[in-house]
Structure 1
Amino acid sequence: MQEDIVAQETCGIFYEYNTAGHRIKRHYDCQPVPNDDNVPMEDWEDWQVLNFPDGPSEGGKFADNQDSTIQVSFQPLDITVSPNPTAGNINISVPSSDIISHYHLKDATGKSILKGNIFSRSHHLNLSDLPAGIYFLIVYHGNLKEGFKIVKH
């Protein structure tokens, strides 16, 4: 199942100042925008500084940008890894075998342990030669990827 969710927001970096004019807080914030138009990425506005009349020395706030549109598209992957935790063997299941898939296993320090291709919807991976510990498995399916934390006893 493929699902697209599009959210439009106005985002910016906001600064807050105390009465002495010292910046006391900087935060990034987004607010939903009622906009039915899907604005292409190339039409997004550049960041700019907005000057408010009361200014920062009087406790005012200003933003780097209050008028940019962000579109977010989520495509949930149907990749499963089981069993987890494992004593040595895991199975990787991908949504379809007609899309190129591969995996990359790393240890807790980020060192590459195993790499390989996935040629069918279900792939068996033997971890029994590896010491007990925490590993990170990244499964690439087409141009998408999903990460899994694997615990080996």
Structure 2
Amino acid sequence: MASSEKQVMVVGIDDSEQSIYALEWTLDHLFVPCASNPPFKLVIVHAKPTPTSAIGLAGPGAAEVLPLVEADLKKIAARVVEKAKEICISKLVNDVMVEVVEGDGRNVLCEAVERHHASILVVGSHGYGAIKRAVLGSVSDYCAHHAHCTVMIVKRPKTKH
């Protein structure tokens, strides 16, 4: 890598508060303090689920439902991308690449790390316990074990009542 080339940071986002918090935290702590010369090239990746994985059925009637689900998933992806761009602009971080890739978040993020030769992957944490994580799966846990780079998992602080 040439000395003038910046390392790549991939940030995974979805429509959750946790991933938005992770993006904001990353920008506040790693980009804004050195806004004139950020340490990384920033790539934001949103994994758009496939319609069949989103509805989980393939029986009679699925053909009529799939186009509606696909339209909703596209709207959600557009909303997520727009929110990410707004956050970057508000923090004066302008040199950003945003991608929407269809597939499971775990695979999409690990593949984005490889494709961009990223040196760090940032993901948010939903803070699931062991049982929920076992049932639902954990994107952050999967990436921590399978991504070929440093993985930073940003946890949102618990609010005190």
TM category (shorter chain) comes to: under 0.3
TM value normalised by structure 1: 0.21
Which structure is higher in helix share?
A: 2
When Rg is computed on C-alpha atoms for both structures, the one with the higher figure is: 1
**Bigger relative CO (Cα 8 Å, ≥ 6 apart):** 2
